[in-house]
Amino acid sequence: MNTERITEKLNILADAAKYDVSCASSGSKRKNENKGLGNASNGICHSYTEDGRCVSLLKILLTNHCIYDCAYCVSRKSNDIKRAAFTVQEVVDLTINFYRRNYIEGLFLSSGIFKDVDYTMERLVLIAKKLRTENNFNGYIHLKSIPGASDELMREAGLYADRLSVNLEMPTEEGLKLLAPDKNRQDMINPMQFLKNEIIQRTEEKKLFKKAPLFAPAGQSTQVIIGATPENDQQVLQSANYFYQNFNLKRVYYSGYVPVLADKRLPGLNTAVPMVRENRLYQADWLMRFYGFNVNEIVNNQQPLLDLDIDPKLSWAIRNMHSFPIDINKADLQLILRVPGIGMLSAQKIVSARKFGNLNWEQLKKIGVAINRAKYFITCKSNEFERRDLSGTSIKQFILAESKSKYLKNVPAQLSFF
Amino acid sequence: MTILFYDGTFEGLLSAVFEIYERKLMQVKLQKGEWYNSALFAEVLKITTSEVNANRVLKGLRQRLSPAAVQRLYIAHMAEMENEEITLIGYIRYVFDTPKNIEDDYGNKYVIRLSEIIRMVRREKHRMEAFVRFKKLKDETYYATIEPDFNVLPLLIKHFKNRYADQKWIIYDIKRNYGLYYNLHDTQYMVLDFSTMNKPGDIIAAFTEDEGIYQHLWKNYFNSVNIPARKNTRLHVRHIPKRYWRHLTEKI
């Protein structure tokens, strides 16, 4: 092995892949039944980068040669950068050796498009196939589907990969047209549609025949870049909601645009990465998927933007003071989940614990409720007189005054890049 | 107040519970270790671990709790957290003194504390599943050292045995000086005698030739995936507290 050459390739091709934010390694159910190597079930973050993102998979491009010229992408054709390409065997060896040392949960493989779409997709599938069939590898494999790849290749990919994803890149078609003139939104939607149908069909088969092969057991996901084009949060979340509803996506990832290229269609190179906005979008995404919120409750024509200084749940609550306060000892789980400062686990604990007797503030605190936020929206067993006549705006002021936002500290750090 | 000394085993703890009920003790404190007579104003009692008594208590617990809750008690004890015997004893007394199953009564201080302990232990177990870094030895065994906050090695068996079924491996807890060895068929506990091992150079010589290369590649990979424009050290350190760094190849 030529260590120097492989190190250089790894550096180039990991660097080029890092803007793809998907890192999930969970949701699969691949077992190690053949006394082989690895399994894929519970997600594990093996390390964290200095920017605090999880490192779960060996995330690389097969090559950063690309025939496309998308404005937001470092690997675009017209960008003058070092190019490299792995051989199939090199990717296999790296994956296996990293996995055996417990560095990673598996492989996340994407690629620039060389020659043509199917030729590229074929190489990606070949690597997955080699890992599964020649190396008895049962670890997690996430393959990027190249937009426009043939159904036949997509089907084969699904047989070897745990998760497949097609990046929508921009939240709307207009955004995509502006920045990626070579790409066509329909080319991204077609494979999603194909995968959705295939996954449903295979799941049915699996119910009937236990031995039916796994097909993309961790489902499909997608990614949109935010802050590169002018879409507002309402458009971003509406679009995410549409794809959750219609394509059974497991995840939509929001990637704050990191200015890497000078282009008059893009934000300037000195623009800060919209990290707070990205965080708020993920919080809103969680509210839609786990907390029973409808997308229109979070963003709508009156409220097209997410608050940056407070999280979307608190923001919703202070706009809807007529729904509060709720009695923690009587209210349904669904309502308790809507209280700012109460998470999924605390809500479940409350519902279990109150069967033994009404809960007071002290007990709620021990259970894990953030009382400083929740106290404005709930009542519980208490002898003290508690005011409940505050307006939404004053509650917001109170909460902001006593909490040190973790983002306020970040502001100077961001400014220093200017 | 009666101070009970026991041998630190789970059977010992259950035997102590038996004595508490047998002697109708009210205020008790359970301590691990040898009996010593320094307590001025307290009664002192040495608990003799008895399998028969322990089993009677265990049977009672099984009748009143779900199997998962009994398991949680066992795990919480095995973790060897300082001064948590008081929680375990309080929990068990609450179980026996209440007619119905109390395991979900999170308003009770012992129940909520046990759930906190379990959460801490589970997190440590999960961290070890993530932060173990194997190094390949010349005899094809993959070797890793860990220093977990709590005693979680026994909880790691299932995960690593399922995952690395086709390679020999050792995970060694250097804080508690015992390890786990998988020989391609079964796992067994082991103790290494480090005093017979020589200079650090000998240890490096024990690794395969490509071990250094893959460590080098992994460090390079770790640096390449960082996005400097997003640097957030607070978040980084919250995810990987510094005490774990010395066993992480990419952080050394």
pLDDT in single tens digits along all 252 residues of chain B? 889 999 999 999 999 999 999 999 999 999 888 766 665 667 888 999 999 999 999 999 999 999 999 999 999 999 999 889 999 999 999 999 999 999 999 999 999 999 999 999 999 999 999 999 999 999 999 999 999 999 999 999 999 999 999 999 999 999 999 999 999 999 999 998 776 665 555 566 788 889 999 999 999 999 999 988 888 999 999 999 999 999 999 998
* Cβ contact B102–A356 (<8 Å): yes
Range from A247-251, A298-302, B229-233 carrying the lowest mean pLDDT: B229-233
Q: Which two tokens stand for residue A161?
A: 């990969």
- Look at residue A417 and tell me if it is in a domain: no
DSSP string spanning A47-59?
EE-TTS-EE-EEE
Q: What distance in Å separates residue B171's CA from the closest CA in chain A? A: 12
Of A173, A194, A222, the domain-final residue: A222
| Residue B244 identity (one-letter amino acid) | Y
Identify whether residues A35 and A183 lie together within a single domain: yes
What confidence tier does A82 reach under pLDDT thresholds 50, 70, 90? very high
* Cβ contact A357–B107 (<8 Å): yes
User: What is the domain extent for residue A66?
Assistant: 3-222
Q: Which of B133, B218, B242 to mutate to test the interface with A (most CBs of A within 10 A)?
A: B218
Q: What is the pLDDT of residue B73?
A: 97
Range from A227-231, A354-358, A387-391, B78-82 carrying the lowest mean pLDDT: A387-391
Of residues B104, B166, B228, nearest to A352 (C-beta): B104
Beta strands (DSSP E) in A198-262 are 220-226, 251-256
Identify whether residues A69 and A176 lie together within a single domain: yes
Contact with chain A for residue B162, Cβ under 8 A: yes
Q: What distance in Å separates residue A7's CA from the closest CA in chain B? A: 6
- Residues A223 and A167 sit within 8 Å (Cβ to Cβ): yes
Q: Which residues 262-291 in chain A show a CB within 8 A of chain B?
A: 273, 275
Instruction: Please say if the pLDDT value at position A51 is more than 60.
Output: yes
Identify whether residues A23 and A171 lie together within a single domain: yes
Residues of A with CB below 8 A from B233's CB? Answer: 50
Range A275-282 average pLDDT: 94
Q: Which residues 119-148 in chain B show a CB within 8 A of chain A?
A: 126, 129-136, 142, 144
- Look at residue A199 and tell me if it is in a domain: yes
Residues of A with CB below 8 A from B66's CB? Answer: none
* Tokens 């102590």 found at: B16
Q: Is B205 left (phi over 0), alpha (psi -120 to 50) or beta?
A: alpha
Q: What is the pLDDT of residue A102?
A: 97
Structural domain count, chain A: 2
Q: What is the pTM (predicted TM-score) of this model?
A: 0.91
What confidence tier does A405 reach under pLDDT thresholds 50, 70, 90? low
- Look at residue A328 and tell me if it is in a domain: yes
Of residues B221, B227, B240, nearest to A10 (C-beta): B221
- Pick from B161, B163, B131: which is nearest to B148 by CA? B131
Identify whether residues A69 and A205 lie together within a single domain: yes
- Pick from B217, B79, B205: which is nearest to A96 by CA? B217
Identify whether residues A206 and A332 lie together within a single domain: no
Of A222, A242, A258, the domain-final residue: A222
Q: What is the pLDDT of residue A411?
A: 42
Q: Report the chain A residue with the minimal C-alpha distance to residue B135.
A: A101
**Residue A399: phi, psi to the nearest 5?**
-65, -40
Residue A272 CA, chain-centre distance (Å), reads 21
- Residues A353 and A363 sit within 8 Å (Cβ to Cβ): yes
Beta strands (DSSP E) in B84-220 are 135-136, 141-146, 168-173, 178-182, 187-190
- Look at residue A251 and tell me if it is in a domain: no
What confidence tier does A224 reach under pLDDT thresholds 50, 70, 90? very high
Identify whether residues A331 and A199 lie together within a single domain: no
Q: Is B198 left (phi over 0), alpha (psi -120 to 50) or beta?
A: beta
Instruction: Please say if the pLDDT value at position A413 is more than 80.
Output: no
Range A324-353 average pLDDT: 96
Which SS3 state, helix, strand or coil, does residue B100 take? coil
Q: Report the chain A residue with the minimal C-alpha distance to residue B234.
A: A52
Which SS3 state, helix, strand or coil, does residue A266 take? coil
Residues of B with CB below 8 A from A11's CB? Answer: 220-221, 223-224
Range from A172-186, A402-416, B4-18, B117-131 carrying the lowest mean pLDDT: A402-416
- Residues A121 and A157 sit within 8 Å (Cβ to Cβ): yes
CATH of the domain at A156: 3.20.20
* Cβ contact B214–A3 (<8 Å): no
Q: What is the ipTM of this complex?
A: 0.92
Identify whether residues A345 and A197 lie together within a single domain: no
As a whole-number percent, the residues of chain A with pLDDT over 90 amount to 69
Contact with chain B for residue A211, Cβ under 8 A: no
Residues of B with CB below 8 A from A256's CB? Answer: 230
* Cβ contact A14–B225 (<8 Å): yes
**Residue A51: phi, psi to the nearest 5?**
-90, 5
- Look at residue A266 and tell me if it is in a domain: no
Identify whether residues A11 and A119 lie together within a single domain: yes
Instruction: Please say if the pLDDT value at position A318 is more than 50.
Output: yes
What confidence tier does A412 reach under pLDDT thresholds 50, 70, 90? very low
Contact with chain B for residue A119, Cβ under 8 A: no
Range A71-84 average pLDDT: 91
Contact with chain A for residue B164, Cβ under 8 A: yes
- Look at residue A252 and tell me if it is in a domain: no
Q: pLDDT tens digit string along A115-130?
A: 899 999 999 999 999 9
Which SS3 state, helix, strand or coil, does residue A46 take? coil
- Pick from A55, A21, A27: which is nearest to A42 by CA? A27
**Can you list the alpha helix ranges (DSSP code H) found in A209-264?**
233-247
Query: How far apart, in whole angstroms, are the C-alpha atoms of residue A334 and residue A322?
Result: 16
DSSP letter assigned to residue A31 = -
Identify whether residues A194 and A325 lie together within a single domain: no
Query: How far apart, in whole angstroms, are the C-alpha atoms of residue B218 and residue B197?
Result: 28
Identify whether residues A318 and A196 lie together within a single domain: no
- Look at residue A279 and tell me if it is in a domain: no
Contact with chain A for residue B240, Cβ under 8 A: yes
* Cβ contact B108–A3 (<8 Å): no
Who contacts B106 (Cβ-Cβ below 8 Å, separation ≥6)?
A349, A350, A352, A353, A363, A366, A367, B112, B115
- Residues A140 and A28 sit within 8 Å (Cβ to Cβ): yes
Instruction: Please say if the pLDDT value at position A386 is more than 80.
Output: no
Contact with chain B for residue A97, Cβ under 8 A: yes
- Pick from A171, A173, A177, A168: which is nearest to A145 by CA? A168
Of residues B162, B220, B226, nearest to A50 (C-beta): B226
Query: How far apart, in whole angstroms, are the C-alpha atoms of residue A175 and residue A172?
Result: 5
Of A222, A251, A277, the domain-final residue: A222
- Look at residue A35 and tell me if it is in a domain: yes
